[in-house]
Structure 1
Amino acid sequence: MGIEVLQTMHEQNIALDHAVEVVIFTDEEGARFSSGMLGSQAFIGKLTEPDLENSFDTYGISIADAMRQQGYKPEHVASAEVKPKEIKCYLELHIEQGKVLESQNIPVGLVTGMVGLRWLKIKLTGEAGHAGTTPMNFRKDPMACAAEIIQVIETLARNEQQTVATIGKLSVQPGGINVIPSEVEFTVDMRDLSDALLDELVEEIGKKARDISEQRGIIFDLQILDRSNGVTTIPSVNEAIAAAIRKNDIELVKLPSGAGHDAMNVAQITDIGMIFLRTKDGISHNPAEWADQADLAMGAEVLLDTFIELGKRCGI
């Protein structure tokens, strides 16, 4: 869509006072290496060669090794950094991944901010045993311990207004149907607009989980895999987006993003704005993910008009 905007500006001889560039960031999701938005981390100078060498997937392959396998050179990661003074502002367009716009029959929305997130990994070590010959009161079962901790995490999230918590990965060793596990490892994804609240919840999870583990005779370990703070979009950029939305006869809907995006990183070095597109049934990261072609076209129009508005308002 960014390329389409540049093509249109070229065809219509639309000239701005500053250059407009399209950037494609790699690995926004972080599904393989449990650390998301790698491309934009490098872009703002927050990703180093040691980071690449010391982050591994479940098979023990580092980001650096994965890069080498594809012909890239991790030792050149610093060359991706862009200095703050080089960028006037940054715009990102993304599907909503939710149902707000669809529920209001609105194709395009204005994003007011993005939630912060904390990714945790909890490891519980107990004692393996025979499922039939080990009495319940003799067991040090990390799976039962995990179940109790997970319930605590869900309760903590439900007690807050906007917090969400997800247990996305769980590993059980040795994994036999008739064997009491020796080790359980699971991840926690927590999100909220309040970074202070997230930090409080992480501390509370650690305290309660450690207490539960000690009561059950389980060795407890908590690791913070990733931490990103919530950000708000910039009023001057939002005004340009809002004007572009109204220009296309769309009702203005403002909404926060519950998902993380590269804009969160870029916000550390320049002003940001973000546009959402309607998503069918709110589905994403799934073969059923869908945005209508007409909505995509409208999003491109809004993106183009936003650039033109920014040129008028911000000297871009």
Structure 2
Amino acid sequence: MHIRATVAAVSGALALSAFVVPAAQADVHASGGDSNYRAAVAKVLGVGKTAFITSPVDDGEPYPLNVTFSNFKVAKSITVGATGHVVVPVTYKLTHGTEVNIKASDFMSGPVLYRGSDAESPDSLGVLGGEKAATCTATSTTVANCKANVDIYPAEGDLTVPDAGAVWTAGALAIAFNGQDPEGEVIDPSKIGIAQQGDLGTTTVRRLGKLTVNASPEPVKKGKTITVTGRLTRANWDGANYTGYGNQPVKLQFRKNGTSTYTTVKTIKTVANGDLKTTVTATADGFFRYVFAATPTTSDAFAAPDFIDVQ
């Protein structure tokens, strides 16, 4: 779930001043309670300058919730294709005061990934969040281990091409509604506690790379020329498709039939549209494949092997 948001620092915490929620809704569990997590977060973090989407009962503001986060773990790099749903698991530790009831049905916590220079002066480049609140398991009266997911739908505008290779910073939030209805039209903000924290870790997001290979003619006589073609493409998040990746080094590898090891024959570069073409001499039956090493913006890729029959 990606939100093109204005991100601002407030009292050293990560404040998301425009947390826009997709139309789809999902019931979630937060420490044993049922609620609409995304709607609840949108209710509290709101849009524009106000912290609330709907008019509050009074002009009060949420109070700082006595919750901190640590030991945030997320993959060092996340690979995302052009379509589908990518689920990124995360874990973190939540520490809270004895007055905070994390088992309450209206207590919610969840992770975020945001693009920005740091928690004190982040850029307004977007936020990735989860569809469901974290599941937090108490390990003591003031500590809990939390598990959650960050959900990414690339074909629905969650990512754009400039997001690839950029540093995404991890953060987390917690909300205690204390009896206020998260889905109510009117709520009293002064009764709601909010904790937000950034700079908990970093990750990057890469475009999924794909490779094809075709060796021909087949069959071919020993000593004759084999032409090996292919194409390197990568996810285009701006068009929900795959486009050619040009001027990239790609290895042509061969595995003799009956063996298990590939040997690099040569390295060639893709042309502007990602196409590959080279020639080799036919020596024995075996499998050809192209191999591409990852770049900061794109994942590695391996073509499915193509068998060549040498007679």
- TM category (shorter chain) comes to under 0.3
* Higher normalized strand content (fraction of residues): 2
* Higher normalized helix content (fraction of residues): 1
Larger RCO, structure (CA 8 Å, separation 6 or more)? 1
TM-score of the two chains, using structure 2 as the length reference:
0.22
| Structure having the higher Rg | 2
TM-score of the two chains, using structure 1 as the length reference:
0.22
